[in-house]
Amino acid sequence: MFLYSLPANAEPALPIHVNQTVYSIEIHPSRHQLIVRKQGKKIRVYPIAVGNPSTPTPIGDYQIIYKGKNWGPSFGPRWLGLNVPWGTYGIHGTNRPHSIGQHLSHGCIRMHNRDVIELFDLVPLGSKVTIYGHVLGHPSHHPRDLAQGDVGGDVQLIQSRLKSAGYFKGTCDGKFRSSTTTALKKYQRNHRLSPNGVVTKKVYEEMGLIE
């Protein structure tokens, strides 16, 4: 059972939260649904595909900071980029329409091409995007193990806990680099855990993130 709830505000600048805008987007990964609101009123609902458990769609409040066209067949005819600190994520079309309604992407939000064209024309740059869910994944499953090279909100959460405890000195940016590994190993040694630099269920439990 998870003890930690969202959003994960590891540092003042993360995640990038914006005030309510005229147009806003809500993404519900568990329902594979994207909702567009205008001044709070629901005006569109689209089916989507989201990230698989090993490359989850980032949870939190973000903003559309880039709009582009025709990035290639895999991204469909339109791309709406989000200001996720640890990687390039966006809302885009797809050449795999069968994936819509499933957890099959590498973290981005896929839409039918006709839908993403409509969304692209509808919402302006700066629009708020809220992605719902739990930073550690679905509460009924154990969170994923984390190691150097991983990225995501769960990495950011671990960095924040390590920083609060005085082990991590860097920026909580959601990128698991060598500095995070070093801090984690020291934490593990001091808490009688195997100092292997991997965030396992025992580490989550020791940090009070699950029970």
Q: Which positions are annotated as active-site residues?
A: 92, 108
Interatomic CA distance for residues 148 and 177, integer angstroms: 5
Q: What is the DSSP letter of 115?
A: H
Interatomic CA distance for residues 101 and 116, integer angstroms: 15
Residues 6+ apart with CB under 8 A from 124: 22, 23, 64
Q: How far apart are the first and last CA of the chain?
A: 6
Interatomic CA distance for residues 187 and 194, integer angstroms: 10
φ and ψ of 188, to 5 deg: -60, -45
Question: CB-hemisphere CA count at 13 Å for 150?
Answer: 23
The tokens of 15 are what? 């995640």
Interatomic CA distance for residues 201 and 203, integer angstroms: 5
Interatomic CA distance for residues 115 and 93, integer angstroms: 8
Interatomic CA distance for residues 16 and 83, integer angstroms: 7
